[in-house]
Structure 1
């Protein structure tokens, strides 16, 4: 990558980071392109040159955020961290995100999630499902997931939950319950929480 391309990519990354931070705190509606430009230390013209419109920028910020989150999950899932601790970290991360994300930005995020063949859907099919299967197998090997439960049944359960959460009337209510739903998803599969096994 030459110097010009590198600088361009860094500038684009600065804009995405600035927009993401502002959207997380204030939501999409209340944040102007001028405010994003100020925070990213670029001109508004630069933002429009890179993203064409605020709507496209929001879409790109969601993809940027998903990629960032997925990279962290991937590192966690491939690590030597014990299975129960992986689950706790996944739940804690979801709780932290739910506590920090502005309701307005969350609604934009969920509209993207609900769109057919969205970036999120492709990531789910190509990367999340195979990684979850590996995680379930690891949980079974370590005795935390019932070996009689097939991966197909677990994935079917997750798919039902996922499809339900893609409905607008559902995702508008779900944010305050994020931690509870993650607990239900993972500890429901495991049978009981780790501290209850002792």
Structure 2
């Protein structure tokens, strides 16, 4: 990649990051192209040259956000920290996101997720999340934190049930404040037996 292309990609990244931060903080509807341009230190024309419309920009931010979340998940899974710490980090990340994300932006993400455009999430889920969950479950079993007789199929079935359920509009409209509790139930069960 030559210098021009590298600068172009960096500018696009800056626009996506600026838009994401504004959407997370204020929501999609209240943020203008002008706001994003100021935050990214580019002109509005530059944003339109890259994305053509706010709708396209929002969609690209959605993909950028999913890629970023996937990368963060991969880093935790691949880290050398002990299994219980990985689980705590995953729960903390979910808690942090759920407490900092704008409700309207979250609703938009979930609507995209449950629509035909949500196929991107399905693709990432199948190609990256599921294989990493296999690794996490294997590690947890090997270290004695997950019951050895608990099948991976049952754990994945449970995850798929959750994933399919939260795609329903009446569910995703209410789920944001419950994110940490849902993660705790998944990893520790309703008995709350956290591993210390």
TM-score class normalised by the smaller sequence: over 0.9
Distance 1:78 1:7 in 2: 30
* 1:192 shift after superposition: 2.1
Is it true that 1:110 corresponds to 2:110 in the alignment? yes
Query: Which residue of structure 2 lines up, in the alignment, with residue 167 of structure 1?
Result: 168
Give the alignment's TM-score, normalised by structure 1.
0.95
Pick closer, same or farther for the CA change 1:137–1:111 going to 2, 3 Å.
Answer: same
Distance 2:62 2:161 in 1: 23
1:74-122 deviations in Å (ceiling 9; x for gaps): 1110111111100000000000000000001001111122124521111
Give the alignment's TM-score, normalised by structure 2.
0.96
Aligned ranges for residues 19-58 of structure 1 at < 5 Å?
Answer: 19-58=19-58
> In 2, are the aligned partners of 1:145 and 1:190 still within 8 Å (CA)?
no
Distance 2:161 2:71 in 1: 25
Q: Which runs of 5+ in 2 are unaligned?
A: none
* 1:188 shift after superposition: 2.1
> In 1, are the aligned partners of 2:185 and 2:192 still within 8 Å (CA)?
no
Query: Which residue of structure 1 lines up, in the alignment, with residue 152 of structure 2?
Result: 151
> In 2, are the aligned partners of 1:187 and 1:193 still within 8 Å (CA)?
yes
The CA RMSD over aligned residues, in Å, is 1.5
1:113-155 deviations in Å (ceiling 9; x for gaps): 2124521111000110010011001111111111111101100
